[in-house]
Amino acid sequence: MEFSKRLDLFGDEVFAALNARRRELEAAGRRVYDLSVGTPDFEPAPHVVEALRASAADPVNWRYSLHDKDELLAAVCAYYAERYGVEGITPDMVMSCRGTQEGLVHVCSALVDAGDVALVPDPCYPVFQNATLLAGARPHYYRLTAEHDFLPHLADVSAEVADAAKYLIVSLPANPVGSVGTPEVYEEVIAFAREHDLIVIHDNAYSDIVFDGPAGGSFLSYPGALDVGVEFLSLSKSFNVTGARLSFLVGRPDVVAAARKLRSQIDFGMFYPEQDAAIAALTGPRDQVERQRLLYQGRRDALCDGLESIGWERPNAHGSMFVWAKLPGGRTDSAAFVLELMERAGVIVTPGSSFGPSGEGYVRMALVMPPEQLREVVAAIGAAGI
């Protein structure tokens, strides 16, 4: 039997390979520090857990949901007004998703036909590329470089490519590179989308993990954004509910309606207890979110200060739960370096090359350990002479 050629679009999953080697090292008695996967180690808020538990106790909530509750849509609209200062979000501009990864596949597939062009950042979280490929479109990569602080620099995109593109994916704060958007960048993105008649898809997963400046915000808060784009709001990192996959597509209503129509062909909607957990997160207290941001900042400082103290170039880490570190000692092969670091220091990170061609020469490290453990990580790297 021959399987679909669609499978040939994707390489081996890097995290699975790293995890397999981690288990081998641990079985051999090695101390291993895994900074490869960005799964928060903080606990979800008790009121969110209780909302899920109480809802799951009602047998009625185990039926097909088929739709987003009115209370859930209202909660998202109110959250945008209160948290981001974005007025005018209405229920027809909101759709729940089982995580941004699933949502991206739906919205990308709703926007393009086979052979169309899409603008994707490089480096980027792999699903930006993969959702584009699954939709049958051709990714055209715009580079995120140190020269431009790892921020979108759309002046490098030719007018011919921009006019051909159907959508532009932007992700700020950015995974994996740790850059944070500025008003100037968002204004440039909106003007670019208007000039070239394309849709902006903004991933806003890390708006509550921003360091060294004003609180994170929303792309949709900028004038004209609602005319040209949509945004993914994720509760995963802010509220530590990654396994529940609580995300929302928010923004231009015709784009949301198109994604909803496509999704309805293959999905019966978000489980009601998950909807109730999301309502509790969106409408409940958010003091834990700010405390957590400060804890992430302490982790960022411990790791970046430590790496700099042993001779590494200071990583880029202004937001998100990741730091983007240049390979030390003149190394250039990130995949080879990851294996070297794992074998010699017992530290597992993700090769920059797995995030796109421009990621080569870097590694991504996740802030998933408290500062004292991250200092142990630095000590292990230093002791290994790396």
Domains and CATH numbers, the chain: 5-43+287-383 (3.90.1150.10), 46-283 (3.40.640.10)
Give pLDDT, residue 296: 97
Give pLDDT, residue 29: 86
Give pLDDT, residue 19: 77
Helix (H) or strand (E) holding 323: strand 322-326
Residue by residue, pLDDT tens for the chain (386 residues) are 889 988 888 776 666 777 788 888 888 888 999 998 888 899 999 999 999 999 999 999 999 998 999 999 999 999 999 999 999 999 999 999 998 999 999 999 999 999 999 999 999 999 999 999 999 999 999 999 999 999 999 999 999 999 999 999 999 999 999 999 999 999 999 999 999 999 999 999 999 999 988 889 999 999 999 999 999 999 999 999 998 899 999 999 999 999 999 999 988 899 999 999 999 999 999 999 999 999 999 999 999 999 999 999 999 999 999 999 999 999 999 999 999 999 999 999 999 999 999 999 999 999 999 999 999 999 999 999 99
**How many angstroms separate the CA atoms of 247 and 99, rounded?**
5
**How many angstroms separate the CA atoms of 209 and 290, rounded?**
9
Give the amino acid at 192. F
Give pLDDT, residue 130: 94
Provide the strand spans (E) within 110-240: 117-122, 138-143, 165-171, 199-203, 229-234
Give pLDDT, residue 268: 87
The DSSP code for 58 is S
pTM of the model: 0.94
**How many angstroms separate the CA atoms of 209 and 194, rounded?**
29
Give pLDDT, residue 150: 96
| Residue 157 in tokens | 């995109």
Question: N- to C-terminal Cα distance for the chain?
Answer: 47
Give pLDDT, residue 90: 97
Give pLDDT, residue 55: 97
Q: How far is CA 356 from the centre of its chain?
A: 15
- Residue with tokens 């109480």, as numbered in its chain: 54
Beta carbons of 100 and 234 less than 8 angstroms apart = yes
182-187 — which CB contacts under 8 Å span 24+ positions?
Answer: 182/151, 183/222, 185/151, 185/152, 186/219, 186/222, 186/225, 187/222
Give pLDDT, residue 348: 93
